[in-house]
A and B are shown apart, each in its own frame.
Chain A
Amino acid sequence: MTAVRARTERVEKDARKDGKTFDLALMVRLSAYVRKYARGLAVSILLLPLISAFEIAQPYLLKRAIDEHIAPHRLPGLDRLALLYLLALVGQYGAAFAHSYLVQVVGQRAMNDLRLAVHRHVLRLCSAFFDRTPIGQLMTRMTNDIEALTELFASGVISLLGDVVRLGLIIAVMFRTDGRLASFSMAAVPVLAVVAMLFRGWMRDAFREIRAKLSRMNAFLQEHLSGIKVVQSFAQERRVADEFTEVNQGYRQANARAIAADAALYSVVEAIASIAVASLLWRGGARIAAGGLSFGVLVQFVEYLGKFFAPLRDLSAKITVMQQAMTAAERVFGILDNQELDEPGAAPTTMASAPVESVTASDPSIAVSFAHVTFGYRPDKPVLRDLSLSIRRGETLAVVGASGAGKSTLIKLLPGLYHPQQGAISIDGQDIRALKPAELRRRVVVVNQDVFLFAGTLGDNIGLGDPSATPEAIAAAARRVGADRVIASRPEGLAAPVLERGANFSAGERQLIAFARALQRDPHILVLDEATASVDPEVERVIERGIAALMRDRTSIVIAHRLSTVRRADRIIVLDHGAIAEEGRHDELLARDGIYAKLYRLQMQHGHPGREAAE
């Protein structure tokens, strides 16, 4: 049990951070999004006094009806007053609907703009940001938090404003009608204020507890549902269910406390309201008896008092919404403020310590050049050390080496996903830092080990929204790399559905699709990170042919895991701890009697020339 408590408490602590109810700086930033719709907002705000005016007119009309017509039994004119009352009613509710709808329109549109702005910004952030930020967290910021902000408009600030206006008007009218009685009626206000303050603290604690327990519960659920197979394979269902009971209980208890607090608050406010009426009756009655007050005025005041208390009931709920919105705003703006952009200028690198080799600047036959590149994901732990490399146009370079030697890192630098701390990388003589990321990535296409497919159709995944990717072009590209068999294997062909992350395709099929995708782009420079070799010789041959087709007449860098690839390459480099250990053509390396030669001898020992020799 302690294990569960310990780890879920860490989640709780995070959720307990309580925001202020009203943060001016955040409100100002939010208002920037609303500014575009200022007109709509202005109209809706202007409607507020109108609504209140209509509302307040009603008790006034009632008073007149009673004093001037009903009490003295005078019929003429009653009809007119009734009509006015009807108009006041329609006016009030019509305006109320218009107001609330306008506020919603402004709110939803403004938050839509915010949502798009955040999305746009997030896509611009650098790879390092995505490495350390869990998707779940980003998702919450971009969906739930923005929802909380929308709620702010729907039932928060604006209606609070309306309430303030209404209260003000009521008080004004009451004082104009009868100052003494009005002062007496207002005696309830300080009492309410004190009560509200007391309860407010109690309720805020209760809500905070609920948020914490809810986070804890959701984290537990998320984890254990994702890992349900592990739970089942170790037959730990009972234990996990018991752990869940504890978490579930905690949530229920937190809610019980909030229910009690809320019930008490609600009831006390109602009681105070009734007592206020009672006092009014007592005082007003005495004055009527003394002849100093009209009956109708008393009735009117009782009515106003009712309208006065109505908005106060909702206050608690509205303040909660405000608080949540402030917290959400803080988190959302946190993302927008993140300046770790995916642009060369933004990366915290030092300028090239050595100029690009003069040979590349003037040699048009060099396609890619790494000049004294040093890089590490953490600046103090370099993965590549002072690496220099040139690749000629149309050349196929194979990179081999032990895991951790820096192969994947090398190819991540080329499309500018990361930037070297020292040194420079250039393509066609141009430093890649001088190129915009979009342009750079049109010239360099990377095919990864781990193929990511978008949910959609097979055709979409190969064409990727490129207008020049007609079905014929896609089919042609697929044929050239051998991916046509994948299309053929599905009854829907190119329209075959692709499930989340391509789960309905085997690893081999995903590889072929990735090849087709890359070929369709027809890139200047191809970078291929070969997946682990599969055993099935037939699929293996298809993939090999596909790779050959991809690399034909194209400058390519391939992290080789297949002997066939390595043999077919124009040049091979062997990386060791971030530096080039051996380099050369297949024959040169053999002659050098190094690692490569060892392999050759192994083959001879076994006496089976193998597939490669037979080709």
Chain B
Amino acid sequence: MLSLKPNRYVAQVVCSGLLSVLPVYASDSLSLTQRTLENGLSVYLQPDPSTPIVNVQVWYHVGSKNETPDRRGIAHLFEHMMFKGTKNIGPEEHSQLIHSVGGQDNAYTTEDVTVYYETVPSTRLHLALSLEAERMHLLDLTQATLDSEREVVKEEKRLRIDNNPILKTIERFRQLVFKVHPYAWTPAGYIEDLDLITLDDCKRFYQTYYQPRNATLIITGDIRLNETFLMVEKYFGHIPGHPLPTVKIPTEPSQRRLREEILRLPAQLPVVVMGYRIPGIRDPAIPNLEIIDRILSGGDSSRLVQRLVKRDRLAVTVGAFVEGMEDPGIYIVYAVSAPGTDMTRVRTAIIEEINQLGLKSVVAREVEAAKNQLTDRHIRSMEPVSGKGQGLGEAIVLHHNLSSFLNVTERYRMVTPGSIARTTRQYLTRNRLSVVTLLPTHRK
């Protein structure tokens, strides 16, 4: 029996009958409907009949920030274990079944969430849902699959980080920025910790985090609302939900002074990675920082490209992004230069450009350009159904703010040249800055 109740975060939802589903948002291009099952699973449906495919995403609110310092990498290792079979499905059979109907599937782990997704022909929605439901509560965790998958994850870590000088620099950079908080390590973890993870660790992790109350199910694409809610109830409704434990994640103390380090690695090109400590993703400063980011690095006319690439010829590539996370994050600026470049000059030029923003140098046209760029990016991200699901997931699970996804203009309405100067002076300061410089050691 279908039994759904409104979600806490979306007050507009009204449960007015078994098959009556009211939208939380509707426009010509996007309508979104939400219900919460009795077991706590939050379900969002967004019909888009333009292509006969459907995207299913299950967002578990667990990532590497939920790890302890002696089990760094378990969240990501566990993501791999979710493909290793359940009570009724053999190892890797999940993906094979999805492929055999022409579908695609995968998963990813971040610091804050672990996301599983399938895109399937819309006639096969029931397959994707039944498989996700199966592994939400009937995962078969064995020593043999753990041993084998641990090796796979170690290979992934070697491939992505240990044998990649730029990502190795980022790994070191995280350790410099965060001394206490689990953001000090990336979801890839460390090989020495991966080797320590036991089957019991995995079982505890599964029991704690993989359950309806810690999950959000997002379905976008060619679906009919009532039929889909019935299907969701059928596959997920019986899975027991239980209260989530209170997990205390260490708070990172304030940074008081500039932190810097030089890393020498076998590499071809010098790189500088700079990061300013910024608030968490739900803080009102974040939209300002996103606009700042575009002014600094959005296209060839941006301030950093004009200064470092075009005028001073100090870098061949300069970029920046807001590493927005639930707990306080980082605004990262990086530059890649030609061999032999004085990287101190690169760093100085970047800091000078950032400091300029605090001196009320930004004009309204630059802010407008930044808003246009972010609007364009937002609209383009919604072109594939998987992009809509991704955007919804971030807005619901991470931002706790659907309106920021649904109305991008509103998100940046309050940003002005004045607010940019204030935000710069507050957050992009020397005492919040960490810098890692990669200097190549390769022989000429």
Q: Do the two shown chains form a genuine complex with each other?
A: no
State the B residues within 8 Å of A (CB).
Answer: none
